[in-house]
Amino acid sequence: MSEGRMLIVEDDFDISNMLRIYFQSHGYEVAVAPRGEDALEMCRKQLPHIIVLDIMLPDMDGYDVCRELRNNLRTSHVPIIFLTQKDERSDKIHGLELGADDYITKPFDLEELKLRVKSAISRATIQSLTNPTTGLPGGRLIEDQLRNLMRRDNWGILYVGLTGFEAFTEVYGFVAGEEVLRFMAMILGQTLDNLGTPNDFIGHIGGDDFIVISADKGLTDTMVRDLTRRFDEGIGTHYDWQTREQGYLLVRDEEGNETQVDLMTIAIGVLRVEDGPFSDIREITEAAASARREGREAGS
């Protein structure tokens, strides 16, 4: 199994060839670009998992290469490690300010470089699997946690969503909506800090849907009460004063007609191990989503 795709941007053939041979021997797919423009073109054709970038290049310096990569949405997330003879503190700070993930000066230790490459790829992988708004795990990280449940005999799930979130974002905009999602992430963390175990997990499924996986099914009811209390106490601050006082939101349709919509409420579906048996994680997520829908209806 490949450790990842690496792009080495280095005009010194002896150095680039040494790095290519070394990292290939450790399972990496390695490409070499002797010029900055070559590196940018190669990234357009196939994204590497990491770039090791020299600053002194024959056509453009590594700072400009880094700047262009960071300003391009498709390459902005690729980790970059500067590898250079420039060892002035100001040079290092400049590179990090441009968005480089690390900075190593020549001469360097190959083992140290390998460890830094591995760490940078790992960090990038974790970041790509987390929600950019809340910073909570999503996607495959949630799936991994759910698969772990299949081997345990004591667990509970809270499937958490918001009723009225779409109407709220329609009136207040997506920035205010993101603030609500961050508020949700915060109170979920507070509830687990207060009541949970060290093995509990919080994930952001997407939109206004969150999941809490508890290692102790006996804590779920208490968690629901605590989370509901925190939500009810804090959600009002996201509305303007007049809306809070009147207790409903006025939503205007395309014809200009206004409709009264209730303020947001939290909907929580609870699933426990005894609600099974479950043969795979899809059955778990379907049952949890069904429980959450019942929670939405109860809160509507």
Summarize pLDDT for 266-284 with one digit per residue, the tens: 999 999 999 989 989 999 9
- Under-50 pLDDT residues of the chain: 297-300
- pTM (whole model) above 0.75: no
Q: Which residue has the tokens 């005999």?
A: 153
At residue 295, the pLDDT reads 62
CATH architecture of 140-299: 2-Layer Sandwich (3.30)
> Contact, 266 vs 229, CB < 8 A?
no
Q: Which CATH class is domain 4-128?
A: alpha beta
CA distances from 251 to 63, 257, 263 (A): 49, 8, 11
Helix (H) or strand (E) holding 157, with range, is strand 156-163
The total of other beta-carbon atoms located within 10 Å of residue 106's CB is 12
The residues facing 203 across adjacent strands are 211
pLDDT of residue 1: 61
Domain definitions of the chain by residue range? 4-128, 140-299
Nearest Cα residue to 239 out of 231, 248, 230, 226: 248
Cα separations in angstroms, 168 against 5, 61, 160: 43, 48, 17
Q: Give the per-residue pLDDT at 31.
A: 96
pLDDT the model gives residue 98: 80
